[in-house]
Chain A
Amino acid sequence: MKVEEVMKKKVEFIEADAQLIDAIEIMVDKGIRSLLVKPSSEKDDYGVISTTDVVLRALGLGLDPLKTKVKEIMTKPIIWLKKEVDITEVANLMREHNVARVFVKEDRQVIGVIALLDITVALLRRKVIGPYVA
């Protein structure tokens, strides 16, 4: 089974120059744990800002989210794979890089994302790790 079959295609974006408070509002409002940070030019890479980045690198250290920019605390570059990759490789990649989500790219564009719970559900449903009893 390929990653394109289990990835979430809806990926929310934010600009690198946006204020941290804007990122927090979007995440809380939509109940999502990460935002993809857009490249600032053609040659630039994508970044990602997660709830872990927000709390452990900013709020927990007392930084003011109204005076901190997304680009100051984001993680860059992102960890990604191709859509044809088998889903059994996703967890290994997460372990290798110690990340909670990997992105799916096609022709330099991000087309999806798979997070910890997504890959766990997928492996369970596909009986890669045993029968699924709902």
Chain B
Amino acid sequence: MVKVEEIMNKKVEFIEPDASVFDAIERMVGKKIRSLGVKPKEEKGEYGVISVRDVVLRVLGADLDPKKVEVEKVTTRPIVSVDRDVDINEVMHLMQKHRIARVFVKEGENIIGVCALLDVMAGLLIQKVREHYVT
């Protein structure tokens, strides 16, 4: 078994829902990351996510001005999340079920990591190695 905490990326960047998509683009490009967590709209609210896919397919590809579109408009909310000790096979299943490219990892109310498609694939290789040495 491989737990999601073993393969998750602990560096999760956040943006405000009323920031512009242009701000989100600058943040993603500057940090070389493909998604940002979007903070809740109000206290006790749910976190969301904006990805480079959302930016290209829903803003740039639709000929909208990223400076005039709020992040919230293209945010997917709520996020799909799991606990840190969940098996990566469960994460893959969630991605398939929800047709999503990343699952967040929560500890209580805090987001402590994110796990994307390539991360679970890396986890699968670790799992294969472990199975090999156990059998």
- Tell whether, in the assembled complex, residue A60 and residue B92 are in contact, meaning their CB atoms are under 8 Å apart: yes
CB distance from A84 to the nearest CB of B (A): 20
B99: chain A residues within 8 A (beta carbon): 56
Which residues of A have CB within 8 Å of B1? none
Contacts of A133 in B (CB 8 A): 26
Judge if B130 is at the interface, Cβ distance under 8 Å: no
Q: Is the interface of B mostly helix, strand, loop or mixed?
A: helix
Extra inter-chain contacts (17) besides given A27-B121, A54-B121, CB under 8 Å: A28-B118, A33-B118, A51-B101, A51-B121, A59-B92, A60-B92, A65-B124, A91-B60, A94-B61, A95-B58, A95-B62, A98-B57, A116-B34, A116-B56, A117-B52, A120-B52, A130-B67
A-B contact pairs, 13 of them (CB 8 A): A27-B118, A51-B117, A52-B117, A59-B120, A60-B95, A60-B97, A92-B61, A93-B61, A95-B56, A95-B61, A95-B62, A124-B29, A129-B66
